[in-house]
Amino acid sequence: MPAVIHQPDTIEKLRILGRDGQYDLACACGSTKDEHRKRGPDGNWIYPVTLPNGGKTTLFKTLVSNACNNDCLYCPLRDKNDVRRCTLGIEETADVFMQYLQARQVFGLFLSSGLTGDADKTMARINAIAAIVRRKHGFRGYIHLKILPGASPAAIEETLRLASAVSINIETPGAEYMAKLSQRKDFLKDIIEPMKLISRLTAKGTRYERVKSTTQFIVGAAGETDKKIVRYMTGLYQRLKLNRVYFSAYQSAPGAESLSAGKENPTDRLMREHRLYQVDFLMRKYGFSDADILFDESEKLSLEKDPKQLWAEAHPEFFPVNINNADKFTLLRVPGLGPRTVKTILDGRKTGRISRLEEVMRHGKLLQKAKSHVVF
């Protein structure tokens, strides 16, 4: 009797590809609860994103295909792994997104894909879907498109024409670590050169300056240190002007027993991810530099204490801080005080003196932490 091969319909494809899309978390997690992905009513992942103007929206995110020619050891979808493969059609993907949009379940689109054929062939499929959504359906909202390593300048420029934001995953802090994960990716040629091109094409005053650019590190797969990641992150912000750097703790994958991650507790990798997000926030929002971040003898961030608290403990001469005359960035060095509370303090000082912290922040652990570092 001949075997019957079941071909998945669109909904089943979305379940498979939505599940597999969890391994790419760029634009899907962060340091606050409203930056984390959530499951939609049909089981697909719905992703929150903070827009450049400070507003928030939710994205429909899917892989276009989970078939992949790459050999990345950290990835469960790499070419030799036995997983159920499927690919969405171009019109099919655009139509599904529009259904979600019209039902007001999402307000934007995030497209990524495994590498099918070569990078430009895959980018052509991603760009074609975005083009239909933009030109046929007239969608003017938020679209985030993943750029595949090795994509040509022409493919990248077409992506920038269609996208509100783009990302290409750097994955590791340098070629030596990439070599531990993949024998097919050329770190400089396939990843760094496209990132530099994106930086030039989206610079202030250029045609695509409106397009935001992000990237993602895989934490713990290649034996890299937190210090290496932070130093690379600094360069990405300063030299390439990235808008955001994301981190994804390595999730153990079948057949990847040789990775350095096998020696690290998975819970510790998740805490490393969390600490890196805290460092990123300190550098983007609090005025910290990479020189202010403290590491242990193995160049790792503390798993027990947050990096701002460690800085405070290492600089007792900086405290106490006077609430009534310190500037914004001095106040942001105080453990327990965040940007929102500091703004409340600065606004409150315009009409009078502040005599106690309870006037500007709620009771709780952060209040108690701040109290021992301030005077009035």
Q: pLDDT of 102-158, one tens digit each?
A: 988 889 999 999 898 899 999 999 999 999 999 999 999 999 999 999 999 999 999
Per-residue pLDDT of 205-246, as tens digits, reads 999 999 999 999 999 999 999 999 999 999 999 999 999 999
Asked whether the beta carbons of 254 and 81 are under 8 A apart, the reply is: yes
Burial class (CB in 10 A: 0-12, 13-18, 19+), 98: middle
**Half-sphere exposure of residue 40, counting CA atoms within 13 Å on the CB side?**
20
13-51 pLDDT, tens digit each: 666 666 655 555 444 444 455 555 555 555 555 566 665
71 SS3 class: coil
DSSP state letter for 2: P
How far apart CA 373 and CA 318 sit, in angstroms, is 9
Matching CATH topology for 10-297 and 315-375? no
Strands of the 45-50 sheet, one edge to the other: 38-39, 45-50, 56-63, 108-112, 142-146, 165-167, 212-219, 244-249
Instruction: List the single range of 63-72, 192-201, 222-231 with lowest mean pLDDT.
Output: 63-72
* pLDDT over threshold 80, residue 172: yes
Q: Locate the domains of the chain by residue range.
A: 10-297, 315-375
What digits encode the pLDDT tens for the residues 240-278? Answer: 999 999 999 887 765 555 566 556 788 899 999 999 999
Nearest in space to 240 (alpha carbons), one of 178, 181, 154, 166: 166
Average pLDDT over residues 179-201: 96
Cα–Cα dist 164/143, whole Å: 5
Question: Do 199 and 211 form a contact (C-beta atoms < 8 A)?
Answer: no
What is the pLDDT, as a whole number, of residue 48? 63
**Coil, helix or strand for 19?**
helix
Cβ proximity of 144 and 164 under 8 Å: yes
CATH of 10-297, one of 3.30.428.10, 3.40.630.30, 3.20.20.70, 3.20.20.80: 3.20.20.70
Q: What is the DSSP letter of 188?
A: I
Architecture of domain 315-375: Orthogonal Bundle (1.10)
Pull the structure tokens for residue 30. Answer: 């962060």
pLDDT number for residue 259: 67
At 85, the pLDDT band (50, 70, 90 cuts) reads confident
**Cβ atoms 122, 115 nearer than 8 A:** yes
Question: In the numeric block, which tokens belong to residue 75?
Answer: 């990835």
